[in-house]
Amino acid sequence: MKHLVRLVPILVIVALVLSMPMVALAQDPLCEGLSEADCTTVLAALDTIATVESFTVPSWEFSLSFDSGEEAYELSASGNAGFVIANDVADSVIYIKLDSLTMVPDDPALPETAEVLFVDGFGYVNYDGEWYGEELSESDLADVNDMLSTIQGAGSVTGMDESLGLDLTGVVATTREADEELHGQTVEVYSMNIDLMNLIVSALSSPMVGEALGMGDLGMGDMSPEEMSMMAMMFAPMLGDSGIGAGVKVGQDDGYIHELELWVNIDIDLSMMGADSPPITGSIAFSAEVSDVDAGYSVEAPTEYGTMDELQSKIDEIQVNPLEGLGGLGL
């Protein structure tokens, strides 16, 4: 399915970003700043994610900007989606529609809209108004299953702080905002901010993180918590206005999450460490509404479509890759 990833990398971005706020929120430190009742509400809503079998996303929006001083990019996308999470991945459904997609620098060959569909063991792409598809291989089905498992299992990722040796005390601050009306019911609104300094201290103090970073090889494995804190403070000037936040809206009637969002602000100045480079700035923002939870969802597969090889040839002919310049993201 390399064709799908290359043509619409938004599919990967949406699936991952969709799970990020829920994974972050699935920690007991989330309750810092909340009443016992509010904490129970949010954790219960997260627990329901593991049991959800279908849902729709009436609207989602994603934006990304990046400026290294030498190169600058902007990407903005929006659309809708629908999911069915079945025990047999071949019976699962993923449908993501891209209603708008813009990028700076502009690429006139970039399609304004696109659709990606996984259904009945096949994968389809609607590009430039034409459908293309192929039967999924065992490896493709495993990838789809991993994606769905990430979404469904995100809310039940409890104890991550303990398994990674992270002390998240003071890292997450959560606030209950004013209630709103959404999808015909009152929703409780919760916003979360992450203290990057405390997060860095916690990460540097984690033996598992330290091992992954090779800190022992650098003679840092035996540093005291105080020394770790001092080291983390060295990073503070480099972070500038960097920040991370997330939010969820929980229905009072059904207890489901009906909207989630994530934002990341990037402001890194490596000159603080003697690097001869301009500041790196950027931002990532994602929001999605969720409705029709377990109300059932279906979508019809196209009856006429070209092959994925034909799609690949078309892509090669016009040489379009929406995120070619963002190879550093691993796409």
Q: Which of 152-161, 162-171, 189-198, 317-326 has the highest mean pLDDT?
A: 189-198
d(CA 237, CA 20): 26
- The count of residues in the chain is 331
Which residues fall within 8 angstroms of residue 138, CB to CB, at 6 or more apart? Answer: none
- Residue 188 covered by a domain: yes
Whole-angstrom distance, CA of residue 75 vs CA of residue 106: 10
Q: Is residue 331 part of a domain?
A: no
State which amino acid sits at residue 174.
T
Inside any domain, residue 131:
yes
Query: Does residue 125 lie within any of the structural domains?
Result: yes
Would you say residue 318 lies in a domain?
yes
Question: Is the Cβ–Cβ distance between 272 and 258 less than 8 Å?
Answer: no
Mean pLDDT of the chain: 76
Cβ atoms of 26 and 152 closer than 8 Å: no
Q: Which residue range forms the structural domain that includes residue 164?
A: 2-326
Question: Is residue 4's pLDDT more than 90?
Answer: no
Residue 82 lies in a domain: yes
Which CATH number does the domain housing residue 59 bear? 2.50.20.20
- With a threshold of 0.85, does the pTM exceed it? no
Number of domains in the chain: 1
Asked, for residue 185, whether it belongs to a domain, the answer is: yes
At residue 118, does pLDDT exceed 60? yes
Torsion of CA 4, 311, 135, 49, to 10 degrees: 20
3-state secondary structure 131-190: EEEEECCHHHHHHHHHHHHHHHHHHHCCCHHHHCCCCCCCCEEEEECCCEEECCEEEEEE
Q: Is 234 exposed, middle or buried (0-12, 13-18, 19+ CB in 10 A)?
A: exposed
Instruction: Give domain status of residue 81, yes or no.
Output: yes
pLDDT one-digit tens code per residue, 27-69? 456 677 888 899 889 888 888 887 888 999 999 999 999 888 8
Fill in the amino acid letter for 53: E
